[in-house]
Structure 1
Amino acid sequence: MRTAVRRARRAGATLAAVLTWAGLVGGLAGCDSGEVFGKPRSPEDLIRVTPDDASKDVKTDGGLQVKVPEGRLESVKVVRIQDAQEEKVPGRLDQDGSRWRPSGPDGERLALAAKYVVDAVAVDDAGRRMARHTTFTTFVPDERFIGYVTPENRSTVGTGMIVKLEFNREIENRAAVEKAVRVTAKPAVEVAPHWFGNTRLDFRPKEYWKPGTKVTVDLKLRDVEAAPGVYGLQYKSFTFTVGRSQVSLVDAASHTMEVRRDGELVDTLPITAGAPRSTTYNGKMVVSELLEVTRMNSRTVGFGGEYDIPDVPHAIRLTDSGTFLHGNYWSGGVFGSSNVSHGCVGLRDVKGGSSQTPAGWFFDRTLIGDVVEVKNSADKKVAPDNGLGGWNMGWKEWTAGAAG
């Protein structure tokens, strides 16, 4: 299930709106087949977020608020991300639930050089619940650059995790910037950089990380000149831990997924993959997001009104372009026998999701950084810069992408 991010060669998903049962709100996605499940009111109409979604260089004195013209806000969660540190932004709802604003001593100002993520759930006057997911980034001082880092500081990840830095400016002096970023592991292993264009720098070892590895990322970018007159801001370290190994192999031809934990086969699950006209990518993909429930809407990915499913359970993002492995409660007895999706991998589930279904079982045992590999699909191999797809490059090709 995928399309290019904010493009639609084939149905995938772009982050736009998400609905969770327990206040967990993720990104909008779209990819599976099935009947249309109504046409709920647009989340953009009901939930109005300032600054606008995808805004860049937002001034620090710009107001942050979430409003509804009718109904009420049920929940608002705002997270600020700086230097791979994630911090919840405190806020308050008006008594009538019509508006949320930040609170505290810094409530009137936004942080410099930060990414903000807003997740809101509202109920309209007809009693319909819907969600909206938006992001924006704030102003970086003139002649400065920063790198946004994946994964999160102090997280525990799967053995396929790749360190990714996305820069807010094009990097002309890539060798100098690359030299100022150091990724080390304990126990020690060679970790090599690879540039994708002039704004993204990834790091990985030759093979998957060993379970238990402690990884440290040192950013010594402050005052490093990335382009004429453009200097870095960050001087910071962060760490993450590699958990157990889990690698799952999807066979699109036999409609199965083998789940292996620390090399041992745990279970074989029946799946449905991409239909002949919307096949699933082959290759190694790394889990980058876990969503309890998400909305999937064909119109957000360039289709007509083929589907609008507001409550897709157990959605696991595999690529930036929208390939998901997710629960499916609407396709009947296709699992293990036929491929009917728009490019995603589907597991049997029930409406609302359940830990007792194959989808719920797999979701509960998955970490960010786990590997899902697809074979025997009538499609090309996933691009190495589509999500954390760098494992689809050989070591010689990977190390050739370094600047230094």
Structure 2
Amino acid sequence: MRRRRSLVAVSAVLGGVLMLSACNDGGGDKSQGSSEAGKSQAEVDAAAAKDASKARIAITPKDGSTNVPLNDGTNVAVSDGTLTKVELKSSDGAAVAGKIAADGKSWKPDAALKRSTKYALAATAKDESGKEAHENASFTTLSPENSFVGSFVPEEGETVGVGMPVSITFNKPIKDQKAVQAAISVSSSSGQEVVGHWFGNQRLDFRPEQYWQANSTVTLKLALQGVQGAPGIVGAQNKTVTFKVGRSQVSTVDVKAKTMTVTRDGQVLKTIPISAGSPENPTYNGQMVISEKFKETRMDGSTVGFKNSEGKGEYDIKDVPHAMRLSTSGTFIHGNYWGADSIFGKVNTSHGCVGLNDAQGANDPNQPGAWFFDNSLIGDVVTVVNSPDKTIKPDNGLNGWNMPWAEWKAGPSA
């Protein structure tokens, strides 16, 4: 699921600060068999939403927020249910201690958060019947008014796929982009030439001409301390980050054939039947990089412009299994337990995502959705071909590979 109408644009960096909404694949309840494939999309979405948890989780601050207060700026609340688990982690993986209230209705951290730090929060709740709901959010805390810092992915010590760019998001607009870029270097043990490209005035991505070489090491050096990014705004960050590139895995989704071929280090691992975007809501073409992974997450159509006549989301599935983000605008490749088995490999039914057959609860390792999730890294590439839609824009997610190398090196036009 993804975009289409009145999308919420969120910067695709530091991890994503990426919105957690997505698409819903149609097809019917598995228990009904292949006859469900004939149901309308609205009927399928309504049935799935009806069977979902009644618990409603609200996270403060909103996903993608910046300049979040260090004290009392973060909390979780739930209605029609109780919280069972809340995890808050900083970008370096450090867990933040917090407590769920005695009545199970709220959560907050035990102490103030760190300045200029990216955090990721994941919350789980259950309704009175025991059905789970999930909500996730990412945000960045405030920094001093007269300074700027960059949030970045990948992070120290990570192992990522060959398509993962170095993507830096600055917490303030950068006017002197030349000076700031000169204070940043990215190098690879492979010896590949690495070049930076600006998307707007707050995002700077680095990549080589072709994907990173498998099993190489990449080093990012930030020497921003004292660099003037804009009048009266100077850098406050010196940092060196090293990450590893793992095996080479590129998966090709053929929308027309309704299959996905997973290739690792030049050898085909598996061909998986899929259900991509419907003719009304086709999937983007192009090279897309997995930027986030969630064993289970909520997908609400209202957050990406899919609303019914009452203004509510056309779908609201709180336990979508094995979801992996491919774009800022809401394109995911994910498991689908509500679609009939017969749609996979046969019919494209989704709102733009790529759906794989899966089981509710995300606990069946034999399902295609679980297999692909377990065998994928953040930074792996999913290339979509033969879709009637256009090619995804390079800045919609971590998808700069869709820009020609000459254009990438030339930089944005004045």
Aligned to 2:31: none
Q: 1:343 to 1:61 in 2, by over 3 A?
A: closer
Runs (5+) with no aligned partner, structure 2: 13-18, 28-43
Contact kept, 8 Å, 2:160 with 2:246, in 1: the verdict is: yes
Alignment of 1:361-400 (within 5 A): 361-400=371-410
Report the Cα offset of residue 350 of structure 1: 2.4
User: Which residue number in structure 2 is paired with residue 57 of structure 1?
Assistant: 67
- 1:343-395 deviations in whole A, cap 9, x for unaligned? 11111222233211222211111011111111111011110011111111121
Percent sequence identity is 47
Further displaced range: 274-283 or 336-345: 336-345
Does the Cα contact within 8 Å between 2:254 and 2:260 map onto a contact in 1? yes
- Range moving further from structure 2, 68-77 or 265-274: 68-77
Q: Which of 126, 137, 141 lines up with 1:123 in the alignment?
A: 126
- Alpha carbons 2:20, 2:63 under 8 Å: kept: no
SS, match of residue 398 in structure 1: helix
Per the alignment, residue 15 of structure 2 pairs with: none
Residues 64, 269 of structure 1: CA spacing in aligned structure 2 closer, same or farther, 3 A cutoff?
closer
Is 1:241 equivalent to 2:252 in the alignment?
A: no
State TM-score, norm by structure 1.
Answer: 0.86
More helix by proportion, 1 or 2? 2
* Residue aligning to 1:339: 348
User: Are residues 1:308 and 2:301 paired?
Assistant: no
Alpha-carbon deviations, 1:133-177, whole Å to 9, x = none?
233332211211111101121100011111100111111000000
1:3-402 alignment to 2 at 5 Å? 3=3, 7=7, 27-34=20-27, 35=44, 36=46, 37-39=48-50, 46-51=56-61, 54-62=64-72, 64-68=74-78, 71-81=81-91, 85-103=92-110, 107=111, 109-125=112-128, 127-303=130-306, 304=308, 305-332=313-340, 333-353=342-362, 354-401=364-411
Distance 1:347 1:49 in 2: 29
Q: Distance in 2 between matches of 1:171 and 1:151?
A: 21
Counterparts of 1:296 and 1:63 in 2: how far apart (Å)? 25
Tell me if the contact between 1:192 and 1:205 (Cα under 8 Å) persists in the aligned partners.
yes
2:281 match: secondary structure? coil
The whole-number CA distance in structure 2 between the counterparts of 1:334 and 1:399 is 43
| Aligned residues of 1:4 and 1:322 also touching (Cα < 8 A) | no
Shift of 1:102: 2.7
Per the normalisation by structure 2, the TM-score is 0.84
Deviations 1:52-81 (A, max 9, x none): 555432333435443446753211111123
> Post-superposition shift, 1:312?
1.8
- Contact 2:167–2:206 under 8 Å retained in 1: yes
How far residue 252 of structure 1 moved from its aligned partner, in angstroms, is 0.8
Matched residue type, 1:2: R
Segments ≥4 residues shifted beyond 6 Å? none
Supply the distance in 1 between the matched residues of 2:252 and 2:64 (Cα, whole angstroms): 35
d(CA) in 2 for partners of 1:51 and 1:279? 32
The amino acid that maps onto 2:355 is G
- Gaps of at least 5 residues in structure 1 are 15-25
CA distance in 1, matches of 2:120, 2:409: 34
Q: More deviation in 160-169 or 302-311?
A: 302-311
- 3-state SS of paired residue (1:86): coil
On the 8 A contact 2:81/2:127 being kept in 1, the answer is: yes
Cα deviations by residue, 1:189-237 (Å, 9 ceiling, x for unpaired): 2101011111110000111111111011011111100001100111011
* Amino acid across the alignment from 1:318: L
**Contact 2:25–2:339, Cα closer than 8 Å, also in 1:** no
CA distance in 2, matches of 1:273, 1:328: 11
CA deviation map 1:238-268 (0-9, x unaligned): 1110000011111111111111110111221
SS at structure 2 position matched to 1:87:
coil
Which amino acid in 1 is paired with 2:164? M
Q: 1:360 to 1:65 in 2, by over 3 A?
A: closer
Change (3 A) 1:134 1:360: closer
